[in-house]
Structure 1
Amino acid sequence: MEVSVIRKNMKFMPDSSRIVTRFFMNGDIRTQELVGRIMLMKEKQVNLTLEEIFRGFARRHRSISDIFLKHFENVRGLIDEMHINDEDLSEERKLLIGSYLTMEYSIESSAFFNPSIVEDFDQTNLNKGEKRVVISFRVTGEGHVSSIVFRRGIIDKDNNLKMMPIGNNIEKAEVLHKIIFQKKRIARKLDEMDTLDIYPTIIDKLPEEFEYSTFRASLKRELEDAVIPYEKRQAYNELVWLLDSFYDIQFKHDSDISERVIFPISDAESRGIEDARFVRFIDDDNSETVMGTYTAYNGHATLSKLISTNDFYSFRVTPLHGEGSKSKGMALFPKKINGKYAMLSRIDGVNNYLMYSDRTNVWKDPIQIQKPLYPWEFTHIGNCGSPLWTEEGWLVITHGVGAMRRYCIGASLFDLDDPSKEIGRLPEPLLYPLEEEREGYVPNVVYSCGSIIHNNSLILPYAVSDYSSAYAVVDLAELLVALKNSKKQGL
């Protein structure tokens, strides 16, 4: 039985006008030389130069003065080394120095792709058959650095999506390191990372529970010893890399959701935040949290991370632990199964796996539940977001990679009580790249990071060749019948 797919006439395109500021410097010596040149300027020249900068850039960023001062403070230590008197550093001169340490970055100039959709927390003031949704996207700019952005919209009774207007200014979040660390858990994570055996020299000096600031102060004391072996310094760097991966972020409440960008923050994700898979998780007490998994990439290694929020203003970010977390494409189930959290993953890069855990950030003992079966998925099979609950079973939207590395989207059905049991799988792709969808940053790709069910339909946002995004609608009853029949036909 074929399943009809209706591609809706809506496109989400990259927009090079969407910009943020980034801290920029060219090493300690060149920065000190730059500051030296600015210090030679007369105060009147400083004011005139600063006024020109404000005329050109103030309208493009909210509170650009605060950004300049923050970037000035980033090099305060270097300036102190120059023995510059504080009375020579007027507020305007500080702002000017900060402006030279600032650059604009177009976050979505290259691609706007890999969408994930969840129900918004606010479902008030809607007409019958409508649902308010939040869609996240992976966006990339120069150098293919990835970050997360959001859009809010309403799906009507006919499954047409109306998007809310987009805000003018993009805001990066304030980073808060307020998490309490447990020494034993940090040590276990370092073991999983196959790090060097030297790190206990600093770990042992920490209390059983410690704050980020305590760790940083302890590390600073350790590094005051100029004669530190290379291996030991590398071990310290690995520890910093790990602990910097734990943080909270906070957006201002006067920002629209379309103005909030989760930009790479820690060294672990310096080259990008990839493929966030969000899901609205309902706990046993009926409390609801939007959780997501994503892959942090630093140009050399990946780290799976969990992000959660109750309002899309405050987010908590933590790395995932356990041998089952050493993979890309992890997707959390929307509720517990038999009292445990459940997660999909592809730990070997080829097959789909299932894991259970008592905690959301520790994943061990993966169970293989799917392997490539049909030619369009022979290279590998993976998930396209978190499973969806239906009365017939867990609906898992999958992606398969076949010849010429063409990515297609499929669907599978698993038992509600034991999702290691596959009930059915579509023998043909649910969605494949049409001729007009084949060209992009990565040709011949359709891909999704999360869908929802609305009005007895599957609402499936998807990326088009890693460049833009669109969405499709599938009749749920028709899809479930096809999945159940696939088992009868000899899956």
Structure 2
Amino acid sequence: MQLERTGIVLSPNSKRVVLRPFAPSSDERKLKIVARLATLSDAEVDAQLHEVLESFHGRHIKPQEFFLRRFETAKRFLLTDLPVSRNRQLLIGSYFTQEYALESAALFNPSMVWHPDQSRLAPGSRRFALSLRATGEGHISSIAFRSGILDAHNKITIEEPSRFVTTPEYVPDAQYEKALFQSKLAELGVGGAFVESVLSRLDSEFTLEQLQASLRFSLKQDRSRREEFALIVEAVTTLAKSNYEITYSPDHSLSERLIFPLSPTETNGIEDARFVEFHDEDGTSCYYATYSAYDGKMVLPQLLQTKDFLHFKMHTLNGPAIADKGFALFPRKVRGHYAMLSRQDGENLYLMYSDMLYFWHTKEILLRPTWPWEFVQVGNCGSPIETDAGWLVISHGVGPMRAYSMSAFLLDLDDPSRVIGRLSEPLLTPNEVEREGYVPNVVYSCGALVHNGQLIIPYAMSDHSTTFGTIPVDDLVSAMRPD
């Protein structure tokens, strides 16, 4: 038994570009660029700027606003305090800007949730939001979005994405809780007298500016050890900047919104967001997504929160049970506790409970590699889906030749530590088309939906592009062997 393939393919599009800062490697080079531009007459500046704006016309929304923001970061290299014309500011800003093709290499590892806007639909239809891992130059990953509709007969229609892509407004957390911040520092192995002196001057809640001021004060108190404390200062600041908020304008469609790496922990990418619509006990709901922040050396699991896909909060996940990748939150509390699946050791699948969404202290093995096609590793392919039969979990397994397959198992609704059903064969293995890509022989998903009794799974084909498969939920459950 396998999924029915839909034939729909979402491929990477190198024409979708976003404006990003361009920063030469040294201040000396930046100074030289600004100095060379200072030699141009006003007429030459106007002509050069006109050429830039004409050459990139129609590729970006409000590029001049971006150029002016980039000028603000470069104006410290001006040689005098004389006023600079707006056109000269724009031209200088353009020299410190570049285009980035966010999905030129791959568009994969999709996650699917119901869209917050269900208006203007035919009876029996529902609109969904699809997140994707978009990878471009330098193999830097970000979160891109698409939207689509499932009609009453489960036909999938993907809405045409916008030509434009935009990045959000970024603000660090307005307030940090000192107790939680101190616990996370200890977890990361950052402590000692210097850290204690920095935190002692802060209230129970503090801002990034207050933290940075306290760091500067502590460095001044012991100038002789400034170099020794440099790495500690960097670690403390990095943790603070890993907790932040981003906001988009409502006039940008979902496909125009891009969550690009912003914090120091994300410099090499935001990977494999697993979105879930979470329903709280008070009747409210919001969307969460677990994702991996990668700085080129270390993976830091993070949690994203949004109610409307316009305003997002990003926070670190904390506690001794936060390790490795593959975290997937249950869509509601179980017995009054948050519950989450995880892959703690790169091999087995674990179940975790917590009373605090951002802190996780305990874990237990839920599932071990059992069949030959998963002897290397077993993991989840997104958050559990609540059905009448139990918690339906789409899983992945890694077998010989590091080939990935997808399968499924069922957990008891009241006690998810009980596996009550499990497929003994893969639900999906890569066919001849799906096995070719950036990483061959891989099929993978980060989250599925059920609509009109049908399981709809978006999945990636060999870390390159995305497609969809469907199967009746009843048929899938019936095929599972009791565990």
Task: Give yes or no for TM over 0.5.
Answer: yes
Determine the structure 2 residue equivalent to 1:301: 298
Is the contact made by 2:2 and 2:428 (CA closer than 8 Å) also made in structure 1? no
Partners of 1:320 and 1:178 lie apart in 2 by 15
Deviations along 1:359-400, whole A, 9 cap, x unmatched?
211111111111100011111100000000011110010010
Residue identity over aligned pairs, in percent, reads: 43
Determine the structure 1 residue equivalent to 2:60: 61
Determine the structure 1 residue equivalent to 2:30: 31
1:163 aligns with 2:158: yes
| 1:166 CA drift (Å) | 1.4
Determine the structure 2 residue equivalent to 1:135: 130
Question: CA separation of 1:308/1:47 partners in 2, compared to 1, >3 Å: closer, same or farther?
Answer: same
Question: CA separation of 1:203/1:78 partners in 2, compared to 1, >3 Å: closer, same or farther?
Answer: farther
Question: CA separation of 1:77/1:214 partners in 2, compared to 1, >3 Å: closer, same or farther?
Answer: farther
Deviations along 1:236-257, whole A, 9 cap, x unmatched?
0001110001111000111111
1:356 aligns with 2:353: yes
Q: Which of 198, 205, 211 is residue 201 of structure 2 equivalent to?
A: 205
Task: Answer with 393-402 or 358-367: which moved more.
Answer: 358-367
1:267 aligns with 2:264: yes
Q: Which amino acid aligns with 2:198?
A: I
What secondary structure sits across from 2:4 in the alignment? strand
Is the contact made by 1:179 and 1:246 (CA closer than 8 Å) also made in structure 2? no
| 1:117 CA drift (Å) | 0.2
Partners of 1:44 and 1:266 lie apart in 2 by 40
1:424 aligns with 2:424: no
Determine the structure 2 residue equivalent to 1:114: 109
Partners of 2:407 and 2:201 lie apart in 1 by 51
Determine the structure 2 residue equivalent to 1:103: 98
Determine the structure 1 residue equivalent to 2:179: 184
Aligned residue pairs, count: 480
Q: Which amino acid aligns with 1:311?
A: D
| 1:58 CA drift (Å) | 3.5
Determine the structure 1 residue equivalent to 2:210: 214
Determine the structure 2 residue equivalent to 1:458: 455
What secondary structure sits across from 2:72 in the alignment? helix
Root mean square deviation, CA, Å:
1.4
Is the contact made by 2:459 and 2:466 (CA closer than 8 Å) also made in structure 1? yes
Partners of 1:130 and 1:470 lie apart in 2 by 20
| 1:222 CA drift (Å) | 4.7
Q: Which amino acid aligns with 1:175?
A: Y
Determine the structure 2 residue equivalent to 1:12: 10
- TM-score norm. by structure 2 comes to 0.97
Q: Which amino acid aligns with 2:128?
A: V
> Which ranges of structure 1 fall in alignment gaps of 5 or more residues?
none
Partners of 2:150 and 2:364 lie apart in 1 by 36
Q: Which of 453, 476, 480 is residue 479 of structure 1 equivalent to?
A: 476
Determine the structure 2 residue equivalent to 1:91: 86
Question: CA separation of 1:34/1:223 partners in 2, compared to 1, >3 Å: closer, same or farther?
Answer: farther
Partners of 2:379 and 2:2 lie apart in 1 by 22
Deviations along 1:61-87, whole A, 9 cap, x unmatched?
1111110111111233444xx4x1132
Determine the structure 1 residue equivalent to 2:289: 292
Partners of 1:67 and 1:222 lie apart in 2 by 36
What secondary structure sits across from 1:369 in the alignment? strand
What secondary structure sits across from 1:330 in the alignment? strand
Determine the structure 1 residue equivalent to 2:339: 342
- TM-score norm. by structure 1 comes to 0.95
| 1:469 CA drift (Å) | 0.5
